[in-house]
Amino acid sequence: MQHYGKRANVRWWQRFLARSATGLLGFALAGTALPAGAVTAANHATTGVGAAQRSAGELPSINESLAVRLAQDAIGRSVPDFPLRTREGETVQLSHYRGKPLLVSFIYTGCFEICPTQTRNLLEAVRGLETMLGEDHFNVVSIGFNQPFDDPSAMRAFAAQHRIHHRNWQFLSPNAHDVEALTRTFGFSWVQTPAGFDHVLGVTVVDAEGRIHTQVLGDGVRTEQLGTALRRLLLYEQPQSLTGAAGLFERVRILCTVYDAKTGQYRYDWKLIFQATSGLLFFLTMFIWLFGEWRRQRRHRPPRTSCTTPVHAAPDEA
């Protein structure tokens, strides 16, 4: 667990308008088109995970301490194989993403401020991670939890709006009846309110075997926060994802990157690369010299002579 996050709150004027106009308008002011029945029901029964207790007349909200505890408790948990639909409408299982570390972010497309900001921050972080790792060594998924409204077409439009065209980043829509179980598994807390949703901000890091490894919570997810977890997975905890000569080269390349706090990105540490190259050349030179000495001494070694004792026949007995 690295960082505690803050929840995505609607503004006070949204709360006021939602409280006074929800019954008449029948939609959420955060921009999510909800049926009138669903919005009205939110005033009487809480829908979601990690909700705070409330008295009559209070709006639903997240219990922050409970939300952090739920996120922490999810670490080490295996992710069930929920079916989801891609933005192209194809069905995939979460097991499709095993074999590489996976970054998971929950969003709802009707959010006009918080979720777009979170997605832009994640986009900047992913660009920095690609410098260090390359896009072939990890995957990213954004899951729309406001079902049935976050369908493939809505997720496709959301991705296009933010110009996300990465090959290793997919936008997914779960089945409506799986949302609560899916979010509870990931330790993601959310509550439906008259103004949309009150939810935790952050990214979940899942390892190559489908277990939740790290929760990075907060509204300003940075490259360094995600990079630390991914480096630990790829270099030390699950190095089997980088095998063979190519995998060895990738491990060396990752080790030779450092986080630059000024730019907020990873960069190559040329000093470290020079030191590693110099050390490699030294050992290679010593090996060549020792091998040459061994061959030279063997070539100038005097030939061995074998001394044989003549065998005399025993005299015949008289």
**Tens-place pLDDT, residues 95-146:** 999 989 999 999 999 888 888 989 998 998 888 888 777 778 899 999 999 9
Q: What tens digit of pLDDT does each residue of 149-204 get?
A: 999 999 999 999 999 999 999 999 999 999 999 999 999 999 888 888 888 888 99
- Among residues 200, 301, 241, the alpha carbon closest in space to that of 101 is found at 241
Is 105 in the same domain as 222?
yes
Please indicate, yes or no, if residue 204 is contained in any of the structural domains: yes
Give the length of the chain. 318
Is 91 in the same domain as 212?
yes
Is 133 in the same domain as 236?
yes
Is 161 in the same domain as 192?
yes
Please indicate, yes or no, if residue 248 is contained in any of the structural domains: no
Q: Which of 12-21, 79-88, 123-132, 187-196 has the highest mean pLDDT?
A: 79-88
Least confident window among 38-47, 105-114, 284-293: 38-47
Task: Note the pLDDT of residue 2.
Answer: 39
Own/partner contacts of 30-39, CB < 8 Å, gap of 24 or more, are: 30/110, 30/111, 30/112, 30/195, 30/196, 30/197, 31/110, 31/111, 31/112, 31/196, 32/108, 32/109, 32/110, 32/111, 32/146, 32/149, 32/196, 32/197, 33/110, 33/149, 34/149, 38/192, 39/194
pLDDT at 8 over 70: no
Q: What CATH number does the domain containing 112 carry?
A: 3.40.30.10
Please indicate, yes or no, if residue 229 is contained in any of the structural domains: yes
pLDDT at 316 over 70: no
Domain range for 263:
256-292
Mean pLDDT value across residues 58-80: 87
Please indicate, yes or no, if residue 305 is contained in any of the structural domains: no
